[in-house]
Amino acid sequence: MKKMKLTALFLLLLSPLVLSSPCASAAKPEEPASAVVKNLYSHLTETMKQGEKLGFEGRYKKLEPVIKESFNLPLMARFAAGPAWREAGPEDREKLIESFSEFSIANYASRFKKFDGEKFTVLGEKPASGGGVIVETTLEPAGEKPVVLNYLLRKDEKGRLRIVDVFLDASISELATRRSEFGAIIKREGWPALISSLEEKTRKMGG
């Protein structure tokens, strides 16, 4: 799989994966942050195996609960909006969180259609320099070299560890990319245009 193709898949939260862990041991307790990532991909794998039968709507409904549980989507939407968040009213903020959440779930439902033999390996976790925990993983496409994918998790207001960002090659932030894209739309066309853009992209993925 070429670098450009892998980057595109990363921005849409990657292609189908298989979950494994070389460090797993029956006697060793599950590391909390790693457990979140493993649980997410366990559900994704299950959905992919039924992907064609379920169709887009079925995959969306099946993945919605685990994605909302695994990711802190409201916090991600807030960060992606950038400085414009402070200027937005409560209603506009709620609309963005809703449209961003639907867009994120639709990305999974549209991309995780079937299982193709890719291998996803959880290597372990470590403290993040800016707070939270980094879960280190690799994605190994069939017949290709592994790609490093790291997940940043932080505690939410209830003390639960949830994903707030994904890094390709341990450096390219998905959330920073979204922030750049969203900021450009807001600056060019305004807040309503950002929400309309997300809603339109979501509709197209389900079409």
- Structure confidence by residue, pLDDT tens digits, 191-203: 999 999 999 999 9
Per-residue pLDDT, averaged over 118-140, amounts to 89
Tokens of 69: 């549980």
Query: What is the domain extent for residue 173?
Result: 3-20+29-206
Closest CA to 165 of 37, 39, 47: 37
The gap between the terminal CA atoms of the chain, to the nearest Å, is 27
Q: Are 78 and 101 in contact (CB under 8 A)?
A: no
Residue 21's pLDDT band, with cuts at 50, 70 and 90, is very low
Q: For residue 83, what pLDDT is reported?
A: 94
Q: Are 161 and 39 in contact (CB under 8 A)?
A: no
Q: Are 19 and 122 in contact (CB under 8 A)?
A: yes
Distance CA 9, CA 152 (A): 18
Look at strands 147-155 and 161-168 and give their pairing: antiparallel
* Higher pLDDT among residues 22 and 62, named by residue: 62
Closest CA to 154 of 122, 127, 123: 127
In sequence order, which ranges of the chain are alpha helices (DSSP H)?
3-11, 32-49, 51-70, 73-81, 84-87, 90-111, 174-189, 191-206
Q: How many CA atoms lie within 13 A of 151 on its CB side?
A: 29
CATH code, 43: 3.10.450.710
Reported pTM: 0.83
How many structural domains comprise the chain?
1
Per-residue pLDDT, averaged over 57-65, amounts to 97
Q: For residue 8, what pLDDT is reported?
A: 41
Tokens of 109: 């439902």
